[in-house]
Structure 1
Amino acid sequence: MTTLEDQLVADFYDYEALLSDDERKLLLKARTFLRDEVKPLVNENWAAGTFPKELIAKFRESGLAGLPYEGYGEHRAATSHLLTGMLAMEMSRTDASVATFFGVHNGLAMYSIHSGGSQEQRDRWLPEMAAMDKIGAFAMTEPLGGSDVAGGMRTTAKRDGDSWILNGTKRWIGNATFADYVVVWARDVDDDNVKGFVVEKNTPGFSPAKIENKIAFRIVENAEITLTDVRVPEANRLQGIDSFRGVAEILRATRGGVAWQALGVMIGAYELALDYAKERRQFGRPIARFQLVQDLLVKSLGDITASWGLLVQLARLQDAGVFKDEHSSLAKAFVTSRMREVVSRAREIFGGNGIVLDYDVARFFADAEAIYSFEGTREMNTLIVGKAITGQSAFV
């Protein structure tokens, strides 16, 4: 049982008690680090649309990277999916942009190499990525290819002796403006299969341009990448992936992580709204004493509690190695939908102050829209689950 002073007010059913003592200590370490080192940097950089590069050194010192990968990182042993999920939740509870920076590096990029690379490739890249001496990115989405990128990928790869030549454009690629290693997915023009390539920083023909004027995830440096005759050695092609099926395996795992992020956003917004309701006075009393405000808070707590329970079971399925596409898709679709409602209620409780960055809730409200859309829209994830339960495909 967690102690009263440690337990999150949103953890109404004490889900954190499911962690081992060592896992709980690591989660609390992350909570303290995020509160003391990350949160003070958030609003200023969110408003400016800048990524605070000093965060990389802070994360490096925290030892949080590399946790899921046995043999790599400070902890050297694989951790449970429940712990890694709660860590993703904890980061988003502080800020969804920072959680995305970390998730792209520690999840999408590192997991692509860990699951799709040879042992030599894992040993070559993962130790320095786990230490955060090198930062990773993951480039799949394209300007004209989002939900249909599996069959409509336009970026091409052409074998040329011991090298590959990549051409095309990628968009919405987090970390790409400063990443050392970018996992680029391209369609082999000879066999029409999707393959993965680790493109190193400053490779000729590789040109990332930061996307400006975003209304969400403003700290994340998303980029549009232009690849013009980018030459990549065969040694940098992920040796274990020769079709989109391998990419789907990666997305299945990371989609669950996005659902945990959505839970963190819900919790962050709910905590702010609860504190504000206790402090804000109208008609001579705290607004927390108003029935309608309590109704908004209780509905939000119910959504949080239900989502958390769903994700706990998803983590158990992952640890058992039996989870499927439809499991992570249901989590992503359900939890992000609940997130949208929770952040809306939280902003409502703040009234006019809810649109001002100073009160933090506006940031959660805006960032929720990005989480709702990426790693598969609600509609696409719904169709994956729908096919699983009916046996009929409604994809067109």
Structure 2
Amino acid sequence: MSNIFSSIKRAYTLFKSVDLAQLDALSKKVDLPKVMASFSALDENQLQGLMKMVEPRKHKELPAIEGDFYHLGDEALKDEDRALQLKVRAFMEKEVQPIVNEYWNRAEFPFELIPKLAELNICGLTYQGYGCPGKSNLMEGILAMEMARVDTSISTFFGVQSGLAMGSIYLLGSEEQKQEWLPGMQQFKIIGAFGLTEPEVGSAAAGGLTTTAKRTGDTWVINGQKKWIGNATFSDVTIIWARDVDDNEVKGFLVRKGTPGISVEKMQDKMALRIVQNGLITLTNCTVHESDRLQNANSFKDTAKVLRMTRAGVAWQAVGCARGAYENALAYTQTRKQFGKPIASFQLVQNHLVEMLSNLTAMQTLCFRLSQLQDQNLLKDEHASLAKVFCSLRTRDVVSKAREVMGGNGILLEYNVARFVADAEAIYSYEGTKEINSLIVGRAITGFSAFV
């Protein structure tokens, strides 16, 4: 009984606070005696429900938006590494986020960011010497995620420079080649590209490259084409992979900018990673000196060492893409109102958000373990391939649900999620398709190779 008296007292206090002018205006709209009679006839539960509706609502403090739901970064990183992660996050949010949609829409590259990226001192993060920081693979993966969380294009540009191009030289180059190229590349004074894929050869690169190299004395003559080559339109050096016509093995060559016989055409009309400048490279009797052949790249097995390393980074990029979509979508649902309240309060929207977070958290934990294996020198092709398969597949699902909870606004660049939806399609395909990576894992677990 005390509860009903309490509700009546609160109602009386509420009505008492209304001035005469407000009462007069209200009486013209409703029958006040009838309202009071109805009010007095309510039971306790009805009174309490009524009071919740008419009393001023207190401001609800919402939880922080956090894509690392299991706090993996907090547990795994030392203080200095955590500080570096936050430094890169601040750079991406302050320098990249405000301009990224504009550049993405125009399919142009923000070259003004390159000197600022150099100041972060994170290029060639895991390499020892040559000005490189010598950090863990886990740290490298987390930074790839931080970049892709804001923009996958910038993360891809960085991955080509730091992973594919520098990695080819670091893993397969001679000491002289490392000394010549790596310090400048680490500071972004030299931009690199990685030319493996061809117009008619993607998944079949291991044994089907049509780009050829013929040795004559101390020089090699290269002929063929390369397609989808990131950074190629402005790179200072491009790693070209070609089939030696004499022994039929794949070899790598450092083709310098301005070398006669190489031309690059920018690829147009992409729907994903529009900031990345992909090039179609044509090599016509392009002559390279033997000293510019990667001295320790003698077969595709050597090329695969680079791909194994960078494929782990692509899995982390997928995590970042999914995280960016999830966090943007969550923020949107907390402020977007329909039927008088935020859509985040609706059951179906919460279900979508939880499914997104579940996928994201599973991806993160998988990639953490993957990087641990890499740091312990236990990483195998099938480990990297499984991560690439799972993460790129789940990213597609996360960005799709992010776009769904945002309704029509999900296809507008200004809300950011549309860019993640498009870029997820590129992640799904590059560094090995789902099918090829699945066959790598399948071979490892069954003992049978299903490759044609």
TM value normalised by structure 2: 0.85
Q: Please tell me whether the aligned partners of residues 39 and 94 of structure 1 are also in contact (alpha carbons under 8 angstroms).
A: yes
Q: Please tell me whether the aligned partners of residues 196 and 237 of structure 1 are also in contact (alpha carbons under 8 angstroms).
A: yes
Aligned pair 1:16/2:96, yes or no?
no
1:144 and 1:9 map into 2 onto residues whose CA distance is: 43
Q: Which runs of 5+ in 1 are unaligned?
A: 1-6
Greater Cα radius of gyration, structure 1 or 2: 2
The residue type paired with residue 248 of structure 2 is: D
| Residues 170-207 of structure 1: CA deviation (Å, up to 9, x unaligned) | 00000000000100000001111000001011111110
- Superposed counterparts of 1:326-365, under 5 Å: 326-365=382-421
SS at match of 1:316: helix
| Residues 79-125 of structure 1: CA deviation (Å, up to 9, x unaligned) | 11110000000000010011101100011000000000011111110
Counterpart of 1:118 in structure 2 is 174
Q: Please tell me whether the aligned partners of residues 110 and 136 of structure 1 are also in contact (alpha carbons under 8 angstroms).
A: yes
Counterpart of 1:60 in structure 2 is 118
2:246 and 2:450 map into 1 onto residues whose CA distance is: 30
Counterpart of 2:130 in structure 1 is 72
| Residues 315-334 of structure 1: CA deviation (Å, up to 9, x unaligned) | 11101101110000000000
- Superposed counterparts of 1:1-396, under 5 Å: 9-17=66-74, 18-73=76-131, 76-396=132-452
> 1:66 deviation in Å?
2.3
> 1:169 deviation in Å?
0.2
Q: Please tell me whether the aligned partners of residues 66 and 72 of structure 1 are also in contact (alpha carbons under 8 angstroms).
A: no
> 1:53 deviation in Å?
1.3
2:402 and 2:130 map into 1 onto residues whose CA distance is: 39
| Residues 131-175 of structure 1: CA deviation (Å, up to 9, x unaligned) | 110000000000000001111100000111111111000000000
1:86 and 1:77 map into 2 onto residues whose CA distance is: 15
The residue type paired with residue 238 of structure 1 is: L
SS at match of 1:26: helix
2:355 and 2:159 map into 1 onto residues whose CA distance is: 29
2:120 and 2:370 map into 1 onto residues whose CA distance is: 27
2:194 and 2:284 map into 1 onto residues whose CA distance is: 18
SS at match of 1:107: helix
The residue type paired with residue 189 of structure 2 is: D
> 1:77 deviation in Å?
3.9
> 1:62 deviation in Å?
2.3
The residue type paired with residue 306 of structure 2 is: I
> 1:8 deviation in Å?
6.4
Q: Please tell me whether the aligned partners of residues 92 and 99 of structure 1 are also in contact (alpha carbons under 8 angstroms).
A: yes
Bigger mean CA deviation after superposition, 357-366 or 76-85: 76-85
Counterpart of 1:4 in structure 2 is none
The residue type paired with residue 286 of structure 1 is: P
Q: Please tell me whether the aligned partners of residues 104 and 175 of structure 1 are also in contact (alpha carbons under 8 angstroms).
A: yes
SS at match of 2:449: coil
Please list every run of at least 4 consecutive aligned residues from structure 1 whose deviation after the TM superposition is greater than 2 angstroms.
none
Q: Please tell me whether the aligned partners of residues 66 and 131 of structure 1 are also in contact (alpha carbons under 8 angstroms).
A: no
Q: Please tell me whether the aligned partners of residues 169 and 178 of structure 2 are also in contact (alpha carbons under 8 angstroms).
A: yes
Cα RMSD (Å): 1.0
Counterpart of 2:27 in structure 1 is none
The residue type paired with residue 69 of structure 2 is: F
| Residues 317-369 of structure 1: CA deviation (Å, up to 9, x unaligned) | 10110111000000000011100000000000110011111111000000000
The residue type paired with residue 78 of structure 2 is: S
Counterpart of 2:33 in structure 1 is none
SS at match of 1:170: strand
- C-alpha change, 1:8 and 1:133, in structure 2 (3 Å) is farther
SS at match of 2:406: helix
> 1:39 deviation in Å?
1.6
2:192 and 2:437 map into 1 onto residues whose CA distance is: 26
The residue type paired with residue 73 of structure 2 is: E
1:290 and 1:201 map into 2 onto residues whose CA distance is: 56
The residue type paired with residue 114 of structure 1 is: Y
1:250 and 1:230 map into 2 onto residues whose CA distance is: 24
1:284 and 1:257 map into 2 onto residues whose CA distance is: 43
Counterpart of 2:55 in structure 1 is none
2:77 and 2:427 map into 1 onto residues whose CA distance is: 26
**Count of residue correspondences:** 388
Q: Please tell me whether the aligned partners of residues 126 and 135 of structure 2 are also in contact (alpha carbons under 8 angstroms).
A: yes
2:243 and 2:65 map into 1 onto residues whose CA distance is: 46
Q: Please tell me whether the aligned partners of residues 65 and 331 of structure 2 are also in contact (alpha carbons under 8 angstroms).
A: no
| Residues 261-292 of structure 1: CA deviation (Å, up to 9, x unaligned) | 00000000000000000000000000000000
Q: Which runs of 5+ in 2 are unaligned?
A: 1-63
Q: Please tell me whether the aligned partners of residues 225 and 281 of structure 2 are also in contact (alpha carbons under 8 angstroms).
A: yes
> 1:59 deviation in Å?
1.1
> 1:72 deviation in Å?
2.7
2:120 and 2:98 map into 1 onto residues whose CA distance is: 16
The residue type paired with residue 102 of structure 2 is: E
Query: Quick one: percent identity of the two aligned structures?
Result: 57
1:23 and 1:142 map into 2 onto residues whose CA distance is: 38
Counterpart of 1:3 in structure 2 is none
TM value normalised by structure 1: 0.97
2:194 and 2:290 map into 1 onto residues whose CA distance is: 18
1:33 and 1:360 map into 2 onto residues whose CA distance is: 17
